Structure 1
Amino acid sequence: MLHNDPIASLTPEVIAWRHHIHCNPELGFDENETARFIAEKLRAFGFDEVHEGIGGTGVVGVLRSGTGTRAIGLRAELDALPVVERTGLPYASRNEGVMHACGHDGHTAMLLGAARLLSQSRAFDGTVYFVFQPAEENEGGSLRMIEDGLFERFPVEAIYAVHNWPGLEQGTIAARAGAQMAAVDNFELTFEGFGAHAAMPQLGDDPILAAGAFVQAVQRIVSRSIDPQTALVVSLTQIHGGNVGNIVPGRVWLQGTCRFFEPGHSDHCEKLVGEIAHGIAAAHALKATLDYHKGYPPLINTADATARAIAAAAATVGSENVTTEFSPSLGCEDFAFMIRAAGGCYAWIGVGDVGPGEGLHGDRYVFNDEIVPTVLRYYVNLVEQTLPAS
């Protein structure tokens, strides 16, 4: 462990970095200034190597100590969301319509803080790769970095990440071996026919009627096609059709998502969404066009890495404040690609309860800066316990 608690001394600076990143948010694969800020900090910390432009705007810092050949990775995300911020913070977003509404600014700043601490102490034996990835939210920046040779260039025995977690008591850390976050598939569906005057619908087709039937019928995937004790969610998130009050439109477009933990449910959902869509289209004399996209896999923490993460968490907050028995989330996380490729563990950091609109992706979401020293200490413990100095 580091002595004289430099973590407490560094915390205000880490929070200042977080506020800087927060007021200058950038969307996925456009995080150019954020990546530049990170690379400059890592170089100023005296890192052995700093690599930029990996998978687009990704940054990897390399920190070595001792003679050990073992290596682990620590990862944070760079991107913000297309959300109009309504927090009223003095450091609120300066980029209209873009907001750090999920805490990636905090995750990045805390990983930079850990980089600073470990570069000063070097109280470990081996190599730590600090991975700052672009485009977590929707574009799969994690996979892009892997395809760009991340783990061939920076091989690790496991990679670790954290996420602030509203609803989990502050002062607690949660991690479990096995599935912790769900897989996600997305689909777009169009019903097309002929429009007609609203007073004479018999002269055209009615894709709105078909869309309504689909919204109801697609839920049979959850209620009637799988074991009811198995987690699966099918949600319709957008419906667009028509632009005037007295015309039945000729086209309606829908968007939806499927969330699950069993990888086999991806093919199952794709098959049934298609069968239901085309069946309803045929019943309404319409054409259906389906674009089904297989997205992030389930995030499945590996056993050895999770045991190390739990040990580091216990050293950080006490074993009584480490949660390992909990229900996984049907939210998704593209860190799943990195764990699938290299093994690892994703931990939730409790931030307490929040109000409406103040949770993840809400326009009044505010990152809880009080967790900063906890995460700094967790990362230091994780590195020093996993790669102990001789």
Structure 2
Amino acid sequence: MDQATITKLSSFRKKLHQYPELSGEEKETAKRVLDFFKEIQVDKTLKGLGGTGLAFVFEGKEPGPSSLFRCELDGLPIKEENDIPHKSTISGKSHVCGHDGHMAIICGLGLELVKNRPKKGKVILLFQPAEETGEGAYAVIQDPKFKEIKPDYAFALHNLPTFESHQIILKKGAFAAASTGMIIHFKGRNSHSAHPEAGNSPAVAMSKTIVALERLPDAMKKFTLVTVIHARLGEIAFGTTPGEATVMATLRAFENETRDLLVTYAEKLCTQIAKEYGLEVSFDYTEKFAATHNDPEAWEYGNQAAKKLGLKTKHARIPFRWSEDFGLFSSHTKTLLFGLGSGKKQPQLHESNFDFPDDLIPTGVDMFWEIIKQLHQ
């Protein structure tokens, strides 16, 4: 990749960084991507995919497989704390996960495909909405337009701080965890705070639930993790004994089935505690992520690409505990999600001072291009 192209992609990345949009709201981001692709001759453009999503299709002249390369459109509801010229201009919103960099990489792949179109099959570049909430992949896959581009393979990367810059992190099988956000509602009975005995406060039940939930993985045979992320008891009213409580927790496992089993056990535990204290209990769920599972065949394409490029490779033994919405594609096609090291001293993902290193853009493009050459040239 020549320096002019690198500069162009870096500038576009910085523009995206300045104007982040939250999950499901990425209309202006999608417009910016569309504008970038105006100069790129594609065979088909799909707009409004799963909401604000975009797909650009490059078709070869000969029959062959179809492969999809995905990036994410959305930013985060986090105030950026950086002293950089391209700092977020949107209050309380930022690209501190690096999705701006991932988009720049896929844009770079588009520029490469214009110069070297696939000879066989087709290549799809997907800009997916709502990755951070775990809703985007489902919306894309359920969209009737997705039938036009249903791929034989799907590939994605995520930059990973704490790993050496430009290092490729690969793993066969489970790569990132399945998870879900669990919301537990306890309902008791209010009373005057001078007469708490007249009511039924869920305070003790809430406290027991917080402690017991995080100990629940001790009883599981496979890896699971419960993290209580929020709890609320009653209202700020000093004359009133609380009558309601809410506990929120994230439940994780390396397999979808194990996560679902953990949810079942958590519901039984909360129901038992509610019964002990004469409370009503109900459950809601949000931000459900499927486990990301790397197919052996797709993994081999990534492994060969890293070898061809002479990149240092880390073969992970244990899956990552975080979740990625790309996991849902694993249930529909052969997938590979790999890590791209973004520096040992780089701030962690979602930290307020994270900024995607632009020097990673050519490495990401090169990795995807080497995969394309194996499948389509």
Alpha-carbon distance, 1:130 to partner? 0.6
Q: What secondary structure sits across from 1:107 in the alignment?
A: helix
Alpha-carbon distance, 1:170 to partner? 1.1
Distance 1:332 1:154 in 2: 25
Offset from partner CA, 1:346-384 (integer Å, 9 cap, x none): 0100012246xx311111111122211111211221111
- 1:298 partnered with 2:291: yes
Distance 1:296 1:150 in 2: 22
Distance 2:331 2:261 in 1: 21
Alpha-carbon distance, 1:160 to partner? 0.5
- 1:13 partnered with 2:8: yes
Offset from partner CA, 1:5-44 (integer Å, 9 cap, x none): 43x4311111111011111111112111111121222231
Query: Could you list the runs of 5+ residues in structure 1 that have no partner in the other structure?
Result: none
Distance 1:149 1:338 in 2: 16
Offset from partner CA, 1:165-185 (integer Å, 9 cap, x none): 011111210121200001112
Q: Map 1:368-379; keep pairs closer than 5 Å.
A: 368-379=357-368
Distance 1:310 1:150 in 2: 31
Distance 1:89 1:257 in 2: 33
Paired residue for 1:333?
Answer: 324
Contact in 2 for aligned 1:171/1:317 (Cα 8 Å) = no
Match of 1:271 among 264, 267, 274: 264
Paired residue for 1:349?
Answer: 340
Contact in 1 for aligned 2:71/2:106 (Cα 8 Å) = yes
Paired residue for 1:96?
Answer: 91
Q: How many positions carry a matched residue from both structures?
A: 376
Provide TM-score, normalisation by structure 2.
Answer: 0.94
Paired residue for 2:313?
Answer: 322
Alpha-carbon distance, 1:293 to partner? 5.2
What do you get for the CA RMSD once the two structures are aligned? 1.9
Q: Map 1:32-111; keep pairs closer than 5 Å.
A: 32-111=27-106
Contact in 2 for aligned 1:151/1:342 (Cα 8 Å) = no
Paired residue for 2:353?
Answer: 364
Q: What secondary structure sits across from 1:291 in the alignment?
A: strand
Q: Map 1:203-242; keep pairs closer than 5 Å.
A: 203-224=198-219, 226-227=220-221, 230-241=222-233, 242=235
Q: Map 1:169-248; keep pairs closer than 5 Å.
A: 169-198=164-193, 200-224=195-219, 226-227=220-221, 230-241=222-233, 242-245=235-238, 247-248=240-241
Query: Aligned in 2, Cα 1:317/1:158: closer, same or farther, shift over 3 Å?
Result: same
Paired residue for 2:243?
Answer: 250
Query: Could you list the runs of 5+ residues in structure 2 that have no partner in the other structure?
Result: none
Alpha-carbon distance, 1:138 to partner? 0.5
Match of 1:282 among 250, 260, 275: 275
- 1:383 partnered with 2:377: no
Provide TM-score, normalisation by structure 1.
Answer: 0.91
Distance 1:137 1:337 in 2: 13
Alpha-carbon distance, 1:119 to partner? 0.8
Distance 1:22 1:93 in 2: 6
Offset from partner CA, 1:224-281 (integer Å, 9 cap, x none): 2x12xx2100111111123145643211111111100122223322222122112111
Contact in 2 for aligned 1:181/1:332 (Cα 8 Å) = yes
Distance 1:151 1:204 in 2: 54
Offset from partner CA, 1:175-228 (integer Å, 9 cap, x none): 21200001112211112212345554333222121110111122342012x12x
Distance 1:245 1:314 in 2: 65
Q: What secondary structure sits across from 2:266 in the alignment?
A: helix
Paired residue for 1:160?
Answer: 155
Q: What secondary structure sits across from 1:69 in the alignment?
A: strand
Q: What secondary structure sits across from 2:251 in the alignment?
A: strand
Q: What secondary structure sits across from 1:70 in the alignment?
A: strand
Distance 1:91 1:248 in 2: 49
Contact in 1 for aligned 2:65/2:375 (Cα 8 Å) = no
- 1:31 partnered with 2:23: no
Distance 2:116 2:265 in 1: 56
| Percent of pairs with identical residues | 26
- Aligned-partner residue type, residue 231 of structure 1: F
Q: What secondary structure sits across from 2:207 in the alignment?
A: helix
Offset from partner CA, 1:93-151 (integer Å, 9 cap, x none): 11111111211111011100111122123264332111111111104111111111355
Distance 2:149 2:121 in 1: 13
Offset from partner CA, 1:286-330 (integer Å, 9 cap, x none): 222222458221100111011001111222243xx1122332111
Q: What secondary structure sits across from 2:171 in the alignment?
A: coil
Match of 1:313 among 301, 306, 310: 306
Contact in 2 for aligned 1:42/1:50 (Cα 8 Å) = no
- Aligned-partner residue type, residue 385 of structure 1: Q
Q: What secondary structure sits across from 1:366 in the alignment?
A: coil
Paired residue for 1:116?
Answer: 111
